[in-house]
Amino acid sequence: MTGKSTLNIRFDNTYARELEGLYIPWTGAPAPAPKMLLLNTTLAEDLGLDPAALASREGLAMLTGTAMPEGAAPLAMAYAGHQFGGFVPQLGDGRALLVGEVINRKGQRRDIQLKGSGKTPFSRGGDGKAALGPVLREYILGEAMAALGIPTTRALAAVATGETVFRDAPLPGAVLTRVAASHLRVGTFQFFHARGETERVRKLADYAIRRHDPDLDGRADRYLAFLRRAIARQMALVAQWMAVGFVHGVMNTDNCAISGETIDYGPCAFLDSYDPLAVFSSIDRQGRYAYDRQPVLAQWNLARLAETLLPLINPENPEAALPAAQEALEEAPEIHAAEWRAHMGAKLGLARGAQADEGLITGFLSLLEGQKADFTNSFGALAPALQGDQTRLSGLLHNAEGLEGWLTSWRKRLEQEVGGAEDAAGRMAAANPVYIPRNHLVEAALSAAHEEDLVPVRRLMEALAQPFTRRAGFEAYENPAPDNFGPYMTYCGT
Ligand code: AMP
Ligand code: MG
């Protein structure tokens, strides 16, 4: 892990350059004994970064925030946020550092950010650090999400710092390197809006437009159009979460990215048995961010974004911009519903889930709910059922009243699709994952990692890297949690 200065990274730091006053230049804390735990070589190469250089001494110094290479412009971003409905005017990067931006192989701009690199002016009472478990958890879940084809921030590296961090118990410290289309959040806009700094909100919005919706740049109606884009991206994202049974857990406005990527894997989890009211976060006592509430809460977050844009949409009279913003927001439920029908319909083998299919989809979900049946495996059992082997499905839904009736309507509906059962089974195979990051598997892998055994983490990630392809040797990764597992709780801010 030694080497000379090989970290030849071509940074192009637009955030630092164009948004002065909207962040604080900052540096990381030293890490006494950095050690690479996981390095995403495929992602590194996509970003034009040399994996060997990232693993060198200089690379590890960057990936822990200890010392930055030439061209980096490390900074802590300011943001606010509604947390569980209550407004917190100042949150910000309390333990994160934006290292800089690079352009990937596809010509897309990507942020490289560290999480757990030490205190910043936004740390409040926190230590600015991250513990090994949550770092690996975000790595595993984020990469699983990417493999499922769902927009998400990515994990480039997990590096142990050699330091002990103190939570309920002493824990090994680590830093996650996260890659994102940007780290602009609804809360970033709220920070400046709440301070009445309209010109800064405008700078931020123009920047966001250049970065995420460049075709809107310079248009007179760009702020309203940008709002519509942000709404469309977020609602499409949540529909995809719903289709794989993902519960984000802390959909606060500071965890809602303008890019439409899943961001901040804290107390999140995938459903085992289907329960629309499932909540995994220890701090979500009201069930505010339960599985089924996610579309409504996403819309609520987008309404907070809309508020910050009103003075840009109509500078003379922000209130007069309200009806147009309202209209954009009112479209959110239908955007979600259409995306949801498309994704859920595909899980049933439909080429295009139409409005008339909603009953068929909810009908199947009701069967699952009544049986507390495994969400992923029940959908996975549909393709074999269609092809004549109903044993798995009947086993999972053994007491479900109405299963036969539902199957009859489903088969009838599929007869209307061109391509017949074979095409339908193909669509189902592409929409129903075999492997998801099941909570008990993630926990077991993290426990092993605490004993310095990363083999289970690597093996789990191997299963999750091709979630739609059943492979020999990974049988155990399909199984739901044993009965004695749970209720599952996850914790954030750790
Ligand atoms: P999160 O719950 O991870 O979305 O974080 C909410 C806010 O708390 C953000 O402003 C974080 O930067 C901050 N935060 C979380 N953990 C820490 C920590 N250990 N030290 C400092 N700030 C933190
Ligand atoms: Mg956050």
pLDDT in tens, 47-75: 999 999 999 999 999 999 999 999 999 99
Report how far ligand 1's centroid is from the alpha carbon of 82 (Å): 14
The helix (H) or strand (E) run that includes residue 171 is: strand 170-180
For ligand 1, mutation pick of 77, 91, 95, 161 (most atoms within 8 Å of CB): 95
Report how far ligand 1's centroid is from the alpha carbon of 97 (Å): 12
Q: Which ligand is nearest to the CA of 79?
A: 1
pLDDT computed for residue 491 by the predictor: 64
Report how far ligand 2's centroid is from the alpha carbon of 255 (Å): 5
Report how far ligand 1's centroid is from the alpha carbon of 91 (Å): 8
How far apart (Å, rounded) are the C-alpha atoms in residues 129 and 145? 24
Q: Which ligand is nearest to the CA of 167?
A: 1
Examine residue 487 and say whether the peptide bond preceding it is cis (omega within 30 degrees of 0): yes
Pick out the chain residues at pLDDT < 70. 1-5, 491-494
Residue ID of nearest Cα to ligand 1 atom 23? 94
Which positions ≥6 away from 156 have C-beta within 8 Å? 39, 40, 43, 44, 47, 49, 54, 63, 112, 177, 178, 179
Q: Is 363 helix (H, G, I), strand (E, B) or coil?
A: helix
Pocket of ligand 1 (CB under 6 A): 91-96, 122-123, 126-129, 250, 254-255, 264, 266, 492-493
Residue ID of nearest Cα to ligand 1 atom 2? 493
Active site residues: 254
Record the tokens describing residue 336, joined without a space: 């979600």
User: Can you say whether residue 324 is alpha, beta or left, with left for phi > 0 and alpha for psi between -120 and 50 degrees?
Assistant: alpha
For ligand 1, mutation pick of 84, 90, 117, 123 (most atoms within 8 Å of CB): 123
Report how far ligand 2's centroid is from the alpha carbon of 13 (Å): 22
- Work out which ligand 1 atom sits closest to the CA atom of 129: 19
How far apart (Å, rounded) are the C-alpha atoms in residues 48 and 192? 34
Residue ID of nearest Cα to ligand 1 atom 7? 91
pLDDT computed for residue 2 by the predictor: 43
- Work out which ligand 1 atom sits closest to the CA atom of 92: 10
User: Can you say whether residue 284 is alpha, beta or left, with left for phi > 0 and alpha for psi between -120 and 50 degrees?
Assistant: beta
Q: Which ligand is nearest to the CA of 262?
A: 2
Residue ID of nearest Cα to ligand 1 atom 15? 493
pLDDT computed for residue 252 by the predictor: 97
The DSSP letter of residue 281 is: B
- Work out which ligand 1 atom sits closest to the CA atom of 94: 12
Record the tokens describing residue 312, joined without a space: 């840009």
Range list of β-strands (E), 284-431: none
User: Can you say whether residue 323 is alpha, beta or left, with left for phi > 0 and alpha for psi between -120 and 50 degrees?
Assistant: alpha
pLDDT computed for residue 82 by the predictor: 97
- Work out which ligand 1 atom sits closest to the CA atom of 93: 12
pLDDT computed for residue 209 by the predictor: 98
pLDDT computed for residue 299 by the predictor: 98
Handedness of CA 166, 170, 171, 172 (dihedral sign): positive
Q: Which ligand is nearest to the CA of 129?
A: 1
Q: What is the pLDDT of residues 200-247, one digit of tens each?
A: 999 999 999 999 999 999 999 999 999 999 999 999 999 999 999 999
Report how far ligand 1's centroid is from the alpha carbon of 269 (Å): 19
- Work out which ligand 1 atom sits closest to the CA atom of 91: 10
Q: What are phi and psi of 489, to 5 degrees?
A: -130, 140
